[in-house]
Structure 1
Amino acid sequence: MFLQAFKQDIMELPKALADKVDLLTELIMESRSEGTVKCYYSAFMRWKKWAQSYGISESEVLPAKAFNVALYLVSLVQNSRSPGPVISAFYGIKWAHSLISAPSPTECVLVKNVLEGAKRRLHNVTVKKEPITPDLLQKMYDALHSHDNLCNKRTICACLISYAGFLRVSELLNLRISDFEFFPTHMSIFIEKSKTDVYREGNWLVISRTGTKLCPVSNIEDFFCYVKFSEYDSFVFRDFTKTRNGYILRKENKHISYTRMRELFIEAFSPFVVDIHKYGLHSLRAGGATAAANCGVPDRLFKRHGRWKSETAKDGYVKDDLCNRLFVSKNLGI
């Protein structure tokens, strides 16, 4: 879409500058994260397909007319159960216009009002997952450790590190051996990619030794000794192959999938909760954050440890205990 919008300008370029066009396109596409670009591009292409199916000309797809975009959002509302598709369409179209420096129809009050109306009509109550507690971690550890094998050790380490480091599942699965450094009092983990680290500067996470059997540091050290990774850049949480003598690491240096990690989580905690559907992989991050908040960890350290940028995002992970909630009304002077 970028090349097509500037087709005439490109044709008029001197030969000495023509070879820079490809890099220009690449840099523009890299101005957002890869996942965001894929999402916006798909959303824009759905708009384009819809517009063409109703006879809207190519010249009115990009740049688009505000009234046509408003009608497109209306059609999405009629066929959606949540505001997600409408929001994606809005920002996908906005992104496409920003690429070619064209005025966006999403700036039109009409289109903005349709979006807000869609959010209100299709709004669903958000049901947050329950946080994992230290008691549940203890039960999980005891159950898996009683059948000591590499597969169980992997699950134990994944859960303990996610809890103690407030890790998102994407951060957990992308960890490599080279990201770990061990010290007498703690370990440091280099988080190369994080949702809030838009420029990929990386972030060092520190996790203390606790001296208990749930200590994340001693458990990951034990796991490394058992697995005996041969490559320094090997992913930590990889697939195993079951043999007569136990489990062996697969040769392919590829981390386990999100789906597989979710299966391991469900297998580990299902025996100890009434309804496993109330829990998810985010429950580990939320559990660690909740425990830290309720024991009074200073906000600055809490926010840095979890790699949060905003107060709203941070507070969304915390489930205040009853004592802290009652503290408010106990101190009103009545």
Structure 2
Amino acid sequence: MNRLSHKVYDDPELSSLAVSLPEVALSSKACNTSKKYQRSYNSWSKWARQHSLVVFPANDVDFSLYLVSLIQSCNSPSTVDEAFYGMKWANDLAGNLNNPCSSFLVKSVREALHRILGHRVSRKEPVTPEILFKLVNVFGDTDSSNCYKLRGTSPLSYTRARELILDMFEHIGLDKSKFGLHSLRSGGASAAANAGVSDRLFKRHRRWKSEKAKDSYVKDDIDKRLLVSKCLGL
């Protein structure tokens, strides 16, 4: 926001308008989007300072190295995209005409990381009915005042909800690195598929619009996988 916040006007009206300009410019994106981009840019800033690099304006080679470093800690191209668009957002707002995200090198590295991470699929295990029963037996409470609110006056963030459920998995002896919040969604889909519920019905129930989205959540049990061989008489 350099160019927006450091411009000085002698005219009082222009000066007042200049003060509000950064806030107006930030409103060009949804609040959550701006916060996400800000977090991504802050991550770059922290990494750059750790390596004694210039934070702003960023060098395209330095930023490319940062993008490459992300593959050591992430399994999804979305993390790379957040870093890319966070940098682009910050430089566009600051009026930097030499935005590193316009660099052919940065664009090529981003595309390459998409290819690399696109093959790094780490599916979480589904939560089976047996696991759910065990969780209820250990943590069940009939007192509704002890329930966590996912929405309402005291919302529970996705991150906090994930921390809580993973701690519960660990408490009952499961490897929490193999599970996530989507394990609950996957568990419901897998249980329905393995119980013989038609794809059309549970696809509609879970509001999946494509077969690919639906299939990514289903883990067939061993009997279903062996059914193909049995039908072929093998």
What TM-score do you get using the length of structure 2 for normalisation?
0.62
1:73 aligns with 2:59: no
**Residues in 2 aligned to 1:331 and 1:99: alpha-carbon distance in whole angstroms:** 62
Structure 2 gap segments, 5+ residues each: none
- Contact 1:289–1:318 (CA under 8 A) maintained in structure 2: yes
Correspondence for 1:278 among 169, 174, 178: 178
* 1:99 aligns to 2:128 (yes or no): no
Q: 2:129 aligned with 1:129, yes or no?
A: no
Question: Aligned residue for 1:39?
Answer: 39
- Looking at structure 1, the residues matched to 104 and 131 of structure 2 have their Cα atoms a distance apart, in angstroms, of 50
Identity %: 32
5 Å-filtered alignment, 1:148-187, equals 150=143, 154=147, 173-176=149-152
Q: Report how far residue 175 of structure 1 moved.
A: 2.7
1:274-299 deviation digits (Å, cap 9, x = unpaired): x5543344322221132344522427
Question: Mind listing any 5+ residue stretches in structure 1 that lack a counterpart?
Answer: 155-171, 177-232, 238-253
Give 2:200's match in structure 1, choosing from 298, 307, 329: 298
After TM superposition, the structure 1 = structure 2 runs for residues 103-252 of structure 1, keeping only pairs within 5 Å, are 104-118=99-113, 125-142=120-137, 150=143, 154=147, 173-176=149-152, 233=153
CA 100–276 in structure 1, closer or farther in 2 if over 3 Å, else same: closer
- Map Cα deviations across residues 212-263 of structure 1 (whole Å, 9 max, x no partner): xxxxxxxxxxxxxxxxxxxxx466x8xxxxxxxxxxxxxxxx9994434432
**Residues of 1 paired with 2:35 and 2:222: CA distance?**
39
CA distance in 2, matches of 1:285, 1:325: 21
Contact in 2 for aligned 1:286/1:317 (Cα 8 Å): yes
Shift of 1:69: 1.2
What's the CA shift for 1:73?
A: 1.8
Paired amino acid for 1:70: V
C-alpha distance in structure 1 between counterparts of 2:158 and 2:106, whole Å:
43
Structure 1 residue 24: Cα displacement: 0.9
- Quote the Cα distance in structure 1 between the aligned partners of 2:50 and 2:36: 21
Q: Is the 8 A contact 1:83 1:119 kept in 2?
A: no
Q: Determine whether 1:318 maps to 2:222.
A: no
Quickly say closer, same or farther: Cα 1:121–1:5, change in 2 above 3 A.
same
Is the CA contact (8 Å cut-off) linking 1:40 and 1:92 kept in structure 2?
A: yes
Counterpart contact for 1:266–1:276, Cα < 8 Å: yes
What is the alpha-carbon distance in structure 2 between the residues aligned to residue 292 and residue 10 of structure 1? 64
In structure 2, the residue matched to 1:266 is 170
Q: What's the Cα RMSD here?
A: 4.8
Whole-angstrom CA distance in 1 between matches of 2:215 and 2:198? 14
Counterpart CA distance in 2 for 1:73 and 1:83 is 16
Q: Quick one: structure 1 residues 116 and 260, their matched pair in 2 at CA, closer, same or farther if it must change by over 3 Å? A: same
Answer whether contact 2:166 2:179 (CA < 8 A) is retained: no
Q: Secondary structure at the match of 1:6?
A: helix
Structure with greater helix percent: 2
Secondary structure of 1:28 counterpart: coil
User: Greater strand share, 1 or 2?
Assistant: 1
- 2: distance between equivalents of 1:318 and 1:91? 32
Would you say how many aligned residue pairs link Structure 1 and Structure 2? 222
Cα displacement (A) at 1:28:
2.7
Using the alignment, how far apart are the partners of 2:65 and 2:181 within structure 1?
35
